[in-house]
Chain A
Amino acid sequence: MSDWKPNIIVFACNWCTYQGADLAGSLRYKYPSSINIVRVPCSGSIEAEYIVEALHKGADGVLVGGCHPGDCHYKEGNHKALRRFNLLHRLLVDMGVEPERVRLEWISGSEGKRFAQVMNEFDATIRKLGPSPNGRNGNA
């Protein structure tokens, strides 16, 4: 159990958070290798099912990353993402998922440092929570 390393999926919009992740790397900001990015065009394109599926398949944490409000490359995809996310988050919590396992963050293409900070922090949070009950190392 001490060797346990979480598996975290980050859905990152192509125009902000994905770029922020690239910048974090090129500036050599470190964060744990538990973070796995799936590139999507916009946070607004992330279906609720993606998040549910990721948890169901055993991800220990899921993060949705988009552009800051007002900065979405497709005008307002992130507003829609936010509304959808809040709804889903409530449902997931009702279903017994710890609220901290699923998170939404606005990270811009120039926030390389913040990308790394958020990932470090998220990884730490998930480690504290321990393996997801649905996770590879859980019992489900």
Chain B
Amino acid sequence: MVSKTGVYVCHCGENIAGSVDVAKVVNYSTTLPGVSVSREYLFMCSDPGQELIRKDIEAGIVDRVVVAACTPRTHEPIFRKALEDAGLNQYLFEMANIRDQDSWAHWGDKEGATQKAQRLIASAVAKANLLQPLQQRYVEVEKSTLVVGAGVSGMFAALDLAGMGYKVWLLDRNPSVGGNMAKLDKTFPTNDCSACILTPVMVQVANHPNIELLTYSEVEAVNGSIGNFNVTVRKKQTYIDWDKCTGCGDCVTACLGKTDNEFNEGLDSRKALYIAFPQAVPKRAVLDQDSCINCAGSHIGKEHKINAKSGEPMLAPCEKVCKTGACDRTLAHDSGGESFDINVGTIIVASGYQAMPKEPFKEYSPDSPNVITCMQLERILSATGPTDGEFHRPSDGQKPKTVAFISCVGSRDKNHHVYCSKVCCMYMLKEARLIKEKYPETEVYIFFIDVRTPGKDFEEYYNYCRELGIKIVRGRVGAVDQLPGDGLRVRAYDVDMDTPVTLEADLVALATAMEPSAGLADLGRKLGITCGSEGFLKEVHTKLYPVETSVKGIYIAGCAQGPKDIPESVSQSRAASSAAAVPLTAGRVPVEPFSSSVDQEKCSGCGICVPLCPYSAISREEIDGKVRAGIEIALCAGCGVCAAACPSLAITLQGFTADQIFAQIDALTSVAGGGPID
């Protein structure tokens, strides 16, 4: 059967037409074997553009479609739908990527880009001529979602989905939900107390009948695909029986082991046995084995020593005070914790960010205890912090008289992160304002490169801060020196005055960058989603698909995707929850029919393909008395590894058959660079 392939070349406004001679390409296309018609349009993806295709199909002129336009990654579904609407099998479609991979990349080389467009179209046509109709498959969707990260973004995503009636697993690697927002004192631009607005949400997620909390847990492995993800979760070892623990805190008081308190950003210490913070949800104790000093010689999993005098077992202080029996050190706790599997239909990643520590910034004297990050200052200002909200500097507990803020520390800096962390200008202004309002006598300086305050009520906030008497200096800070005593000297360049300036300060706060949280790349790898060059998770399309990832059924929200403030994180998390709800509500999702199939005639039954399949979808089975390879369609993901390895050429990957690829190679090599085009 000779195909009737229609070729539709898009101008994409000037995006393609500015670098590719479209008329020439259209003319050329008509000369290709199998092509019945070739047309051009300003925007092929617009309705009139699609109408051109539909009309030709309905008129019987066209039974295969090639669109030469942007990238199939975003636009293939749109055109496939047009085919389907006109009554043609949607898989009789191929795209030639003449924008992203041609006109844009070869801008200014019109001849080269035009010739390449011709080659790419010839290749697409060659493949299209050999396409076979394929039947879309559907899979049933497990009506539940896993939300990774229980900060403000993750909690709102979980609440939305739970409210729609779906089961939600809300996972966090910390012992409590709340994320970074739980550490904040106040939140701009309204200066609400962070805890006052966050803790009710924390309680809500804990009490919601559709939400199951998986705190102090990690994602170990992810298998499956949209509709049916199988996730192995590892609940880390707490060494405390959480079913019995009431969060009374007696063991914490009794504990003698100490380490840095991560909730207070290392400004004070916490016990080895600890509750993450006073408002923790769930409020349960965790033993951090690394800092446990095994009081009374009591080692985990070992019988107690016997007191020689009394003949009584010697209990550690924590065990002695625990009234519920939640703390029993003799039990054989598995240090790896407990792993189990859950099945979910969709996944939302809201794993947040981390604030950069001060140590990498040697020029700002990080060794001085009075040089702190703004996140540390946040803890100092907070009523739940190390100073109970009293404004004391770390070195001597004195109230600072002069405070200097330094902006863009680690952001907009090619030695660290080139991006703008977006929230620093506002959080510096907020902290400065909190200090100035409470202690008006304090001199507060902010060294900015630029003040960036776009956002609802943000500029007003900035103006108000200036009126309060906060001094804004525009210019980069070159260094912070330690002075004898505990003082500091800030050396900067004032751009407005065009002069170097120095300032003696009692406390220096560095507005350090937001960066991807530790382990994000690893998590991304487990999920099969990629990180962008800055290490944050990558969305499919910045503008149109901001919460979708390259893996269908996995969505992203909050700072895991890039720096954001709270309102933005919440908006995005609610967008992600609605996107994640779509497949759950539909109940079934289409899966691409690109699976492999075995030609039983050609198969020799050698079994080479069996161990190669990453999904264990192939087995050797007996068919009519002969051993042959059999592929379990539901398990096949369509990678094509088996087809490539089969020595008998018996396996075909639908949609990417060897014949089709040979035809593409043929087309690409016969339409030469400077060859027989004109």
Taking Cβ atoms with an 8 Å cutoff, the residues of A that contact B are 3-7, 9, 14-16, 18-19, 21-22, 24-26, 28-34, 36-42, 44-50, 53-54, 57-59, 70-71, 73-77, 80, 84, 108-111, 113, 116, 136
CA distance A7 to B674 in the complex (A): 10
Asked if A6 contacts B661 (CB within 8 A), the reply is no
Q: Which residues of A contact B643 (CB under 8 A)?
A: 45, 47
* Residue contacts A-B, CB under 8 angstroms, 28 given: A5-B673, A14-B73, A19-B73, A22-B71, A25-B101, A25-B104, A28-B107, A33-B113, A36-B116, A36-B123, A37-B120, A38-B661, A39-B97, A44-B640, A44-B641, A49-B662, A50-B658, A50-B661, A57-B670, A58-B669, A71-B525, A73-B550, A74-B641, A77-B640, A77-B641, A80-B641, A110-B530, A136-B672
Question: Given B104, B113, B532, B665, which contacts A54 in the complex, CB threshold below 8 Å?
Answer: B665
Q: Which residues of A contact B101 (CB under 8 A)?
A: 21-22, 25, 37
Q: Is B614 on the interface with A (CB-CB < 8 A)?
A: yes
CA distance A45 to B116 in the complex (A): 25
For chain B, residues 656 to 678, give those with C-beta under 8 angstroms from any C-beta of chain A. 656, 658, 661-662, 664-666, 668-670, 672-675
Q: Which residues of B contact A110 (CB under 8 A)?
A: 530-533, 538
Asked if B658 contacts A71 (CB within 8 A), the reply is no
CA distance A58 to B120 in the complex (A): 16
CA distance A6 to B119 in the complex (A): 13
A21 to chain B, nearest CB (A): 5
Inter-chain pairs besides A22-B97, A25-B101, A42-B641, 10 sampled, C-beta below 8 Å: A5-B674, A40-B640, A45-B641, A50-B662, A53-B662, A57-B670, A74-B641, A80-B644, A80-B645, A108-B530
Question: Given A19, A53, A73, A136, which contacts B675 in the complex, CB threshold below 8 Å?
Answer: A136
- Pick the most buried of B100, B113, B637: most chain A CB atoms within 10 A of its CB: B100
Q: Is B561 on the interface with A (CB-CB < 8 A)?
A: no
Question: Given A15, A49, A53, which contacts B550 in the complex, CB threshold below 8 Å?
Answer: A15
CA distance A7 to B122 in the complex (A): 14
Question: Given A74, A116, A136, which contacts B637 in the complex, CB threshold below 8 Å?
Answer: A74
Asked if A7 contacts B672 (CB within 8 A), the reply is yes
A111 to chain B, nearest CB (A): 7
Q: Which residues of A contact B668 (CB under 8 A)?
A: 7, 9, 36, 38, 59
Q: Which residues of A contact B102 (CB under 8 A)?
A: 25, 33
B94 to chain A, nearest CB (A): 10
A14 to chain B, nearest CB (A): 8
CA distance A110 to B537 in the complex (A): 10
A77-B639 contact given A59-B669, A110-B530, CB 8 Å threshold: yes
Q: Is B572 on the interface with A (CB-CB < 8 A)?
A: no
Q: Which residues of B contact A5 (CB under 8 A)?
A: 112, 673-674
Q: Is B161 on the interface with A (CB-CB < 8 A)?
A: no
CA distance A57 to B640 in the complex (A): 23
CA distance A31 to B72 in the complex (A): 21
B22 to chain A, nearest CB (A): 16
Asked if B97 contacts A37 (CB within 8 A), the reply is yes
Q: Which residues of B contact A3 (CB under 8 A)?
A: 674
Q: Which residues of B contact A41 (CB under 8 A)?
A: 594, 638-640, 653, 656
Q: Which residues of B contact A32 (CB under 8 A)?
A: 106, 112
Chain B residue with minimal CB distance to A44?
A: B641
Of all A-B residue pairs in the complex, the 5 with the closest CB atoms, nearest first, are A45-B640, A33-B112, A74-B639, A25-B100, A25-B104
Asked if A77 contacts B661 (CB within 8 A), the reply is no
Q: Which residues of B contact A28 (CB under 8 A)?
A: 104-105, 107
CA distance A32 to B665 in the complex (A): 19
Q: Which residues of B contact A29 (CB under 8 A)?
A: 105
Asked if A22 contacts B673 (CB within 8 A), the reply is no
Asked if B530 contacts A7 (CB within 8 A), the reply is no
CA distance A30 to B107 in the complex (A): 8
B120 to chain A, nearest CB (A): 7
Q: Is B210 on the interface with A (CB-CB < 8 A)?
A: no
B556 to chain A, nearest CB (A): 14
Asked if B538 contacts A49 (CB within 8 A), the reply is no
Q: Is B495 on the interface with A (CB-CB < 8 A)?
A: no
Asked if B106 contacts A30 (CB within 8 A), the reply is yes
Q: Is B612 on the interface with A (CB-CB < 8 A)?
A: yes
CA distance A47 to B640 in the complex (A): 9
Question: Given B73, B538, B614, B666, which contacts A76 in the complex, CB threshold below 8 Å?
Answer: B614
- Pick the most buried of B525, B661, B662, B666: most chain A CB atoms within 10 A of its CB: B661
A38-B669 contact given A25-B100, A74-B637, A75-B614, CB 8 Å threshold: no
Question: Given A14, A16, A22, A57, which contacts B100 in the complex, CB threshold below 8 Å?
Answer: A22
A21-B100 contact given A36-B668, A57-B666, CB 8 Å threshold: yes
Q: Is B528 on the interface with A (CB-CB < 8 A)?
A: yes
Q: Which residues of B contact A53 (CB under 8 A)?
A: 662, 665
Asked if B116 contacts A25 (CB within 8 A), the reply is no
Chain B residue with minimal CB distance to A108?
A: B530
Contact with A along B592-624 (1 / 0, CB 8 A): 001000000000000000001010000000000
CA distance A110 to B550 in the complex (A): 12
B487 to chain A, nearest CB (A): 45
Q: Is B186 on the interface with A (CB-CB < 8 A)?
A: no
B560 to chain A, nearest CB (A): 15
Asked if A7 contacts B533 (CB within 8 A), the reply is no
Asked if B653 contacts A45 (CB within 8 A), the reply is yes
Q: Is B283 on the interface with A (CB-CB < 8 A)?
A: no
CA distance A53 to B669 in the complex (A): 10
CA distance A8 to B73 in the complex (A): 23
Q: Which residues of B contact A75 (CB under 8 A)?
A: 614
Asked if A109 contacts B105 (CB within 8 A), the reply is no
B457 to chain A, nearest CB (A): 34
For chain B, residues 529 to 557, give those with C-beta under 8 angstroms from any C-beta of chain A. 530-533, 538, 550-551
Q: Is B489 on the interface with A (CB-CB < 8 A)?
A: no
Q: Which residues of B contact A46 (CB under 8 A)?
A: 644
Q: Which residues of B contact A40 (CB under 8 A)?
A: 640, 656, 661
Q: Which residues of A contact B675 (CB under 8 A)?
A: 136
Q: Is B99 on the interface with A (CB-CB < 8 A)?
A: yes
Q: Is B5 on the interface with A (CB-CB < 8 A)?
A: no
A92 to chain B, nearest CB (A): 16
A108 to chain B, nearest CB (A): 6
CA distance A15 to B641 in the complex (A): 15
A105 to chain B, nearest CB (A): 16
